[in-house]
Structure formats: C-alpha cells, structure tokens
C-alpha cells in the first residue's frame, strides 16, 4: 500500500520547489492547493460558495479569488466555512488520484494547511518546510502580486513553524536551493530504509 508523505510549511516557504525535487526523483506528487483551485471552479463547489458568501465575490459567474481571500483571511469563522466546502472535495479527489499510484511505495501530499485541515491524520510521515519570514513575504508578494499586509494576514491564519515542527518527522530549512536538494536526497534515503518498516 502506498504510504502518504505529507509535505507542508507556511505560505512562501518553498513547498512547491521541494515537491518538484521529489517529483524529479520519481516520487508522485499531489499539490492540494492547485487541485483545490481547479475544484473551486466546478459548478457544485461554486454553488456551495455562493450559498455561503453570496454573489458579490463573483464577476460574470467567475470566482474572484482575491475578494474571497480578503474575506476569509480576516475572519477565521468564514475561513472555516470555506474549508468545510473545499477540503472534503479535495480529499475525495486525492483518494482517486492515489489509486492511480498504488504501485508506488510512497507519494507526496503537499498542502499549506495540512495540520489546520486535519489532513495530517491521513499521512504516514510529515515533512515541514521552513524559511525566513522576510523571504516568505517577499516571495508571495512577487508571486501573487499582492500586498505585504495581505500576506501577513494569511501567515497569521496558519499554524506557526514551531507548531508544525512539533508534529513533523522531517524538517527542511529552505535557505538555499543546493542545501535544500541535498535534504530531499537525504530524506529519500531514509524513506528507502523505512520502506520495509512503515
């Protein structure tokens, strides 16, 4: 049976870069945030979001993700409501995806809010990625064309590094691409040893 390796870290920590490294070594990778984005465009989920958040966050029937982010990252209750709509759909999609990779000894499940969503309970091992806070803010501002204030709101809506680390099996400090890649290689060697034990 395929073992699920959870990969998480705060926004802008470089999870996707690390996920890509694992993929380059032949490990199947599921990027939960990317899949959630696609799932949020399905008529079923759009209907559920409209029911909770109204029509104001839609433009020509298209979800305005920025407006939705402003609402949910300022209001923990509304964030929870959104998560309750999206997370079960992502879980169902992931379970189907996993069936396609059942011959692999392990697969990576990459999710920013792995702990907050309870997704960590389905993982056999967990890797947390950390990076200096200023580097994270800068990455997200450039990547999402957003503001420092909005990035900080999103960071504050997530668990802290300390909280994540306390529940993780491996920690990758993403300070340089070279050392990060070496960390991935090291983890893969350990996973190979653990393969018969897990």
Distance between CA atoms of residues 30 and 5, nearest Å: 10
- DSSP-derived 3-state class of residue 113: coil
Distance between CA atoms of residues 65 and 145, nearest Å: 13
The CATH number corresponding to 3-193 among 3.60.60.10, 3.40.50.300, 3.50.50.60, 3.30.40.10 equals: 3.40.50.300
pTM of the model: 0.88
Distance between CA atoms of residues 133 and 10, nearest Å: 9
Question: Where do the structural domains in the chain lie, given as residue ranges?
Answer: 3-193
Could you tell me which of 100, 109, 143 has the C-alpha nearest to residue 22?
Answer: 109
What the block records as the tokens of 169 is 């099996």
Whether 117 and 21 have beta carbons less than 8 Å apart is answered as no
Distance between CA atoms of residues 46 and 37, nearest Å: 11
Whether 7 and 119 have beta carbons less than 8 Å apart is answered as no
Binding residues: 12-17
pLDDT in tens, the chain (198 residues): 899 999 999 999 999 999 999 999 999 999 999 999 999 999 999 999 999 999 889 988 789 988 998 899 889 899 999 999 999 999 999 999 999 999 999 999 999 999 988 899 999 999 999 999 999 999 999 999 999 999 999 999 899 999 999 999 999 999 998 999 999 999 999 998 877 544
Q: What is the 3-state secondary structure (H, E, C) of 51-100?
A: HHHCHHHEECCEECHHHHHHHHCCCHHHHHHHHHHHHHHHHHHHHHHHHC
pLDDT at 197: 47
Distance between CA atoms of residues 184 and 138, nearest Å: 24
Cα–Cα separations (whole angstroms), residue 95 to 2, 30, 91, 157: 11, 11, 6, 27
Binding residues for ATP: 12-17
pLDDT at 196: 59
Distance between CA atoms of residues 138 and 39, nearest Å: 28
pLDDT at 60: 81
Whether 137 and 151 have beta carbons less than 8 Å apart is answered as yes
């Amino acid at each position: 049976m395929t073992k699920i390796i959870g990969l998480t870290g705060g926004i802008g920590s470089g999870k996707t870069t690390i996920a890509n490294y694992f993929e380059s070594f032949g490990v199947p990778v599921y990027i939960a945030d990317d899949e959630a984005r696609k799932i949020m465009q399905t008529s079923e989920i759009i209907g559920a979001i409209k029911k909770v958040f109204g029509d104001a966050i839609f433009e020509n029937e298209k979800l305005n993700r920025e407006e939705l982010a402003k609402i949910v990252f300022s209001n923990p209750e509304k964030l929870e409501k959104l998560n309750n709509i999206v997370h079960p759909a992502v879980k169902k999609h992931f379970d189907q995806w996993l069936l396609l990779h059942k011959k692999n000894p392990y697969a990576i499940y990459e999710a920013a809010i792995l702990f907050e969503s309870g997704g960590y309970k389905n993982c056999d091992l967990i890797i947390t990625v950390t990076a200096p806070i200023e580097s994270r803010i800068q990455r997200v501002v450039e990547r999402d064309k957003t503001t420092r204030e909005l990035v900080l709101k999103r960071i504050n809506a997530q668990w802290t590094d300390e909280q994540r680390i306390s529940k993780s099996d491996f920690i990758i400090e993403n300070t340089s691409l070279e050392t990060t890649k070496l960390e991935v290689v090291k983890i893969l060697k350990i996973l190979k040893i653990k393969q018969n034990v897990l």
